[in-house]
Structure formats: structure tokens, C-alpha cells
Amino acid sequence: MSDLKLTTTEVITTLYNLILNKATRTWEREQLMTTKKALEQENDLAVESAKLEAVLRPLAVRHNLTPDVADFYAQLTNQPQESFDLSRFYQVDQPYEERAIFAGGCFWCMVEPFETRPGIIMVVSGYTGGTVVDPTYDQVATQTTGHVEAVEIIFDNRVVNYADLVAIFWQITDPTDAGGQINDRGQQYRPVIFVQNQKQRQIAEDSKERLIASKRYQKPIVTTIEAATTFWPAENYHQQFYKKNRQRYQRIENARRQYLALQHLRSKFRLVWQRLGRHFKK
């Protein structure tokens, strides 16, 4: 492990906050408390940090630490991840700015397809649609909060319009899967378009009707259109995951793309056969 670029006081403060963090798991909390007590007894920072890093490592390499503890582990190993700046998210939008909220499986795969488009100001991963205030990732994963993983997009409507974003959403999700998305199973992954106003609702509903009428899918379209409720930004670890953990993201995204590509190809073949069948019946 490289030399830790934090002071003892900074580490103790961080440990204290992580111990109080409701998202921290019991086992993690026990390890953090052990290190905190050792440092408060003026034990060597480098030695205690190395011990903590070693005990957390098995979970860290499997990406199984809770998000805030994972961020701290990155600091322990001198691979700090910059905190995601949410200040823009809380600012009042300009007259030419709008917001869109989409849920389509794991939010890790929902950011890049939108963020890389012209006119997109910000994409935030988070939770919405449920009843629990300021939920954590672990809480949402229990499927008891009513929340789904989603992204909230701030966009410049002079460059890109809401209908364009809805069209992208249909391309990157499976609208026939109400139990999740591809490999992401559970109600927290169900596909939803959350609308901010009547204009967005009309655009989304018209788009959905056109998709149904196209007969592109053999199964029913189950993506719901619901009124937007409070959107809770997810932990720092989850923000812009496609940039922070590029290799892991690419493995997940490649599997997702292959599934959707095969689904779209089957749909095209089915439509072609239907047209040919009608032609030969004439």
C-alpha cells in the first residue's frame, strides 16, 4: 500500500462519519470502529491503515463494499475518487432547461447513453418512485422501499428535446420486461418513464403508442408512465460509474447491448416474415 495522504485527524473524522452512516454494514462498522479506537489511542496511522486495508481488501476486489466505504478504501490505496459535484442538480433551471427521469435497470448503464449526447447538461444516478426518504442503495436493493434505480437528466431544450430522450430510452431498454432489465432482476429495476408535467406525459404516451403500433415486440409493452416524485441522488460511488470503473462497466454494458441487439434483430426478422406472409396470401 502507498503512503496514505491523510492525517490521523482526517482519518478519525472519516471513520466516525462512516460508522454513523446508516448505509454502512454491521461488519464494516466493526472494522472501522476497531481502527478508530486504535488511532484514538495514538497507534501508528500507517500500521492501522494497512491493517484496515488488508481486512477490507477481499470485499473491495469483488466490488462488495458499501459505496461510501468503497470511496474510503480508494483513499486508503491512494486511488481517491473525486466527489461528484451535485451543486448543479440543486440549482434552479434556466428557462431553456428541462429535466427528464428514466428508470431502465441498473443506473450504471443508463448514464453514458444520455450524457454523451449534445445538449445534455447533467445526468445524475439516483432513486425515485418510492416512499422512503433519502434511501440508501442497500435499502432500495431490499425491494421494500418502492423506489427504482433511475437517472435524472438536465437538458438544454434548444439543442435536444424531450421526445429525443424518450426515443433513446426505448433503444437502450427492454420495454417488455416488468421484472427488471436483462440481468438486473427485481422491482427496483423495472422500466418507468417518470413525467414532470402534462406535456411530457403526452409525448411519452404518444411515443409508447407508436411503439405498440409498430408491432416491433411480440410481447406486450409493460414500461409504465408515472408522475415524477422526489428524486434522491445515489451515493458518490454510483455517479458516473462508467468513467470510474470503465472495465467493469464495459463488461456489463456489452452484455446488455448484445441482448438488446439480438432482441432487435429478432424483431426485424419477425416483421419481415409477417410482411412476406401477407404478400404471399394476396
pLDDT digits (tens, 9 = 90+) for 213-230: 999 898 999 999 999 999
C-alpha cell of residue 57: 481488501
C-alpha cell of residue 106: 441498473
| 106 annotated active-site | yes
CA distance 6 to 282: 78
Buried b or exposed e, range 90-100, using 16+ CB within 10 angstroms: eeeeeeebbbb
Domain 91-242 falls in which CATH fold? Peptide Methionine Sulfoxide Reductase; Chain A (3.30.1060)
Instruction: Tell which phi-psi region holds residue 174, choosing left (phi > 0), alpha (psi between -120 and 50) or beta.
Output: beta
CB atoms within 10 A of CB 114: 21
- Top pLDDT among 269 and 206 is at 206
Instruction: Tell which phi-psi region holds residue 247, choosing left (phi > 0), alpha (psi between -120 and 50) or beta.
Output: alpha
| Burial (Cβ within 10 Å: 0-12, 13-18, ≥19) of residue 48 | buried
182: which DSSP letter? T
* Catalytic residue of the set 39, 69, 101, 106: 106
**Percentage of the chain with pLDDT > 70?**
93
pLDDT value of residue 265: 87
Ranking 66-75, 144-153, 195-204, 225-234 by mean pLDDT, the lowest is 66-75
CA distance 181 to 106: 8
pLDDT digits (tens, 9 = 90+) for 25-50: 999 999 999 999 999 999 999 999 99
Query: What is the domain partition of the chain in residue ranges?
Result: 8-76, 91-242
